[in-house]
């Protein structure tokens, strides 16, 4: 070995003493650790990927000890991590969660089928209750239904439905009487002679979109806030009529 200086080994912040097995690897031979394979004291296998500054940017986890790294954790920004899981071990992620790194609360959870999001649940206040649920009922890659718990009590108050796929809501249903979660009152866009709102009121404000793993905050939105929601159609009782619920 020559006496020339060598690039410092990355400091990942992981303590080798905390693990049953700890093996750092310099994949590109630049003198810095790029990957660290570990096994926790309880037998969980993890592979940590590091950037040039030694920060962990991606963690792959085998949670059940079958040798398949079915769970990934990636930093989206300083405040949130993206946790994805391939539950059926078919090589495609089935769920994606955006987790607040400080509180540990899940603020967004996506269900995926064949790489496409079919449902997104958003908890904007981190209380563990879904505030907004977006559904792609026909699996065409676009949300067509938004279910909203506007008073954040864990019970839906309204649902907005885009029946023709143009991005505008055609039907709104509300629980206008007793807060039991049964959306028995319905109004259509034709009846009000105007817009019931746009799906973009919700999709423009979700925190993470499947397929965007850049972690660039400029490409991410905030969770929906009250002023981003469509006007409540129940505010005009003259336009409402009973339906069979949602």
For each successive 10 residues of the chain (246 residues), what is the average pLDDT?
42 88 94 95 95 93 92 93 94 94 94 93 91 95 94 91 96 86 90 91 84 39 40 42 41
Asked if residue 139 is part of any domain, the answer here is yes
Say whether both 151 and 184 belong to one domain.
Answer: yes
Please tell me the predicted confidence (pLDDT) of residue 196: 94
Asked if residue 231 is part of any domain, the answer here is no
Asked if residue 59 is part of any domain, the answer here is yes
Say whether both 152 and 124 belong to one domain.
Answer: yes
Say whether both 103 and 82 belong to one domain.
Answer: yes
List, in sequence order, every residue forming a beta bridge with 120; answer none if it has no partner: 110, 134
Q: How far apart are CA 100 and CA 112, in angstroms?
A: 21
Contact 32, 12 (CB under 8 A): no
Please tell me the predicted confidence (pLDDT) of residue 193: 86
Say whether both 91 and 185 belong to one domain.
Answer: yes
Question: Residues near 32 by Cβ (< 8 Å), separated by ≥ 6?
Answer: 7, 8, 9, 10, 26, 50, 52, 54
170-175 CB contacts, 8 Å cutoff, 24+ apart: 170/196, 171/196, 172/196, 172/197, 172/230, 172/233, 173/243, 173/245, 173/246, 174/232, 174/233, 174/234, 174/240
Say whether both 57 and 142 belong to one domain.
Answer: no
**Total number of domains in the chain:** 2
Q: How far apart are CA 17 and CA 5, in angstroms?
A: 27
Say whether both 33 and 128 belong to one domain.
Answer: no
Q: Cα angle vertex 125, ends 121, 129, to 5°?
A: 50
Residue 237 DSSP class:
G
Q: Cα torsion at 144, 82, 221, 187 (round to 10°)?
A: 20
Asked if residue 223 is part of any domain, the answer here is no
Say whether both 99 and 194 belong to one domain.
Answer: yes
Asked if residue 27 is part of any domain, the answer here is yes
Say whether both 116 and 191 belong to one domain.
Answer: yes
Note if the pTM is more than 0.95. no
Asked if residue 98 is part of any domain, the answer here is yes
Q: State the residue range of the domain holding 98.
A: 78-204
- Assign 200 to helix, strand or coil: helix
Please tell me the predicted confidence (pLDDT) of residue 10: 63
Say whether both 95 and 163 belong to one domain.
Answer: yes
Say whether both 164 and 89 belong to one domain.
Answer: yes
Final residue in a domain of this structure, among 46, 67, 88: 67
Say whether both 19 and 103 belong to one domain.
Answer: no
Say whether both 63 and 83 belong to one domain.
Answer: no
Asked if residue 214 is part of any domain, the answer here is no
Asked if residue 61 is part of any domain, the answer here is yes
Please tell me the predicted confidence (pLDDT) of residue 26: 95
């Amino acid at each position: 070995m020559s006496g020339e200086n060598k690039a410092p080994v990355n400091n990942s912040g992981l303590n080798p003493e905390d693990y049953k097995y700890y093996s750092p690897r310099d994949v590109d031979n630049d003198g810095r650790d790029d990957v660290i394979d570990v096994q926790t004291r309880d037998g969980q296998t993890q592979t940590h990927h590091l950037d040039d500054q030694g920060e962990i940017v991606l963690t792959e986890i085998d949670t059940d000890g079958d040798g398949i790294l079915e769970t990934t954790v990636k930093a989206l920004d300083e405040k949130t991590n993206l946790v994805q899981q391939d539950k059926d071990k078919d090589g495609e992620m089935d769920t994606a969660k955006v987790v607040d790194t400080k509180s540990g609360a899940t603020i967004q959870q996506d269900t995926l089928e064949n790489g496409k999001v079919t449902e997104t649940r958003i908890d904007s206040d981190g209380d563990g209750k879904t505030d907004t649920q977006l559904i792609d009922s026909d699996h065409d890659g676009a949300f067509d239904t938004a279910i909203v718990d506007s008073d954040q009590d864990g019970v839906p108050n309204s649902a907005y439905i885009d029946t023709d796929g143009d991005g505008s809501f055609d039907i709104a249903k509300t629980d206008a009487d007793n807060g039991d979660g049964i959306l028995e009152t319905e109004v259509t866009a034709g009846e009000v002679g105007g817009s019931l709102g746009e799906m973009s009121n919700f999709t423009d404000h979700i925190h993470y979109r499947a397929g965007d793993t850049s972690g660039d905050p400029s490409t991410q939105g905030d969770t929906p806030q009250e002023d981003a929601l469509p006007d409540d159609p129940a505010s005009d009782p003259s336009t409402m009529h009973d339906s069979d619920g949602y």
